[in-house]
Amino acid sequence: LPPEPSGWQPIKTAPKNGTRILVYFKKYVAGDRVTIMHYAWAERIFVLSGTSGMRYGIQPSHWMPLPEPPGEK
């Protein structure tokens, strides 16, 4: 298996299997935006994760894998 990408990657290389990823929007409304989305096959677009398919009017330009959650101290 190839290594998991690190850093921001072009959105065309993002997984399209429902994996939740960080996405980046350049100059979205009032400024740049980073949020968590996943690819929705039925609609063939990225939608907000944790919602019932909420989407933005534009699609993100870049993505990166979610980081590991913080460990307990």
Classify residue 32 by its DSSP letter.
Answer: E
Classify residue 58 by its DSSP letter.
Answer: S
What band does 52 get if pLDDT is binned at 50, 70 and 90? Answer: low
pTM above 0.85, yes or no: no
Q: What is the pLDDT of residues 3-46, one digit of tens each?
A: 555 689 999 999 999 899 999 987 666 778 888 888 888 888 88
11: helix, strand or coil: helix
